Amino acid sequence: MAERIDVKKTYKLFINGAFPRSESGRTYEIKNAKGLFIANPCLASRKDLKDAVVAARLAQPGWSMSTAYNKGQILYRLAEMLEARRTQFVEEIFMTTGVSRVKAEKEVNDSVDRLVWYAGWSDKLASLSGSLNPVAGPYYNFTVPESMGVIAAIAAEMPSLLGLIDTIAPIIVGGNTVVVLASTQSPLCAMSFAEVIATSDVPAGVINILTGKKDEIAPWMASHMDVDGMDISGLGKKSHGGLRIAGAENLKRIYSFQSGGPERILAFLEHKSVWHPIGL
């Protein structure tokens, strides 16, 4: 019997809940630590970014209006789906980064746990970061957190899966939608994570994932007038200044984080104060 031929996966982009190839038709080659060919992921162009932002903008009001309970459930669902496919992710991290299987396994475990952790924040944000403000009159004054809108992000190069989740989860848990550029050298688990997203009841357009070159995409994210905030944690310090200048045109909130945590959620929330008469 003839030897079976492997069926290799085509790694594509994830935009608006679908898996298109890059509009430009471009791909790039990734190799493992020993220099052997692994795959040809898409090399996203600025037009792919544009399409992703359009999708994210359309999805934003609906996602933002969904209940905190529902958002938390969906994030938890992501964790469930990721848990079920652990071996695949371990293999992809092992293959692209050269870390040991044990380390890769730990990264996947951490990723699942991190998703659960962020999911838990969903229905606690309003009470923890909002407030009932003291006033000198017969009315209430509340401060409540609201989503900022469409957030662009550059995920950390390494660890590629945990870094991606630390980028995406805090942005969406507050009701934002996100367009994220995954790790350039190890994008495989990002695109496999897109398959997890596609089967987790995340509405189309809430999470959009591109693969490609950071230097090419980041400036277009920063200058895009329909992007409200940007996470540039995945970029070297040298490029930060230029991106902050490019983002100034629409007063984009641009942040860089050292680690995961609640400050990543709070950074992309806007706090709004409203008054309400007593007794009504």
Under rule CB under 8 A, residue 252 binds another protein: no
Under rule CB under 8 A, residue 250 binds another protein: yes
Least distance between another protein and beta carbon 10 (Å): 22
Supply φ then ψ for residue 61, to 5 degrees.
Answer: -60, -40
Among left, alpha and beta (phi > 0; psi -120 to 50; other), residue 123 is alpha
Please say which residue, 251 or 274, places its beta carbon nearer to another protein.
251
Least distance between another protein and beta carbon 244 (Å): 14
Distance between CA 22 and CA 278 in Å, rounded? 55
Distance between CA 266 and CA 229 in Å, rounded? 12
Q: For the purposes of burial, counting CB atoms within 10 Å of the CB of 139, is it exposed (0-12), middle (13-18) or buried (19 or more)?
A: exposed
Please say which residue, 29 or 249, places its beta carbon nearer to another protein.
249
Distance between CA 232 and CA 243 in Å, rounded? 9
Q: What angle do CA 100, 101, 105 make, to 5 degrees?
A: 120
Please say which residue, 114 or 224, places its beta carbon nearer to another protein.
224
Under rule CB under 8 A, residue 103 binds another protein: no
Distance between CA 12 and CA 20 in Å, rounded? 6
Q: Give the full edge-to-edge strand order of the sheet including 131-132.
A: 131-132, 139-147, 269-277
Tokens, residue 125: 């944000």
Residues 25-54 that bind another protein (CB under 8 A): 46, 50, 53
Please say which residue, 104 or 153, places its beta carbon nearer to another protein.
153
Under rule CB under 8 A, residue 201 binds another protein: no
Under rule CB under 8 A, residue 280 binds another protein: no
Residues 123-152 that bind another protein (CB under 8 A): none
Distance between CA 42 and CA 187 in Å, rounded? 10
Please say which residue, 149 or 234, places its beta carbon nearer to another protein.
149
Q: Beta strand pairing status for 139-147 and 131-132?
A: antiparallel
Under rule CB under 8 A, residue 100 binds another protein: no
Tokens, residue 198: 């596609």
Under rule CB under 8 A, residue 64 binds another protein: no
- Site size for another protein, by CB under 8 A? 12
Residues 209-248 that bind another protein (CB under 8 A): 220, 223-226, 246
Least distance between another protein and beta carbon 134 (Å): 35
Under rule CB under 8 A, residue 253 binds another protein: no
Under rule CB under 8 A, residue 87 binds another protein: no
Contacts to another protein by CB under 8 A: 46, 50, 53, 57, 220, 223-226, 246, 249-250
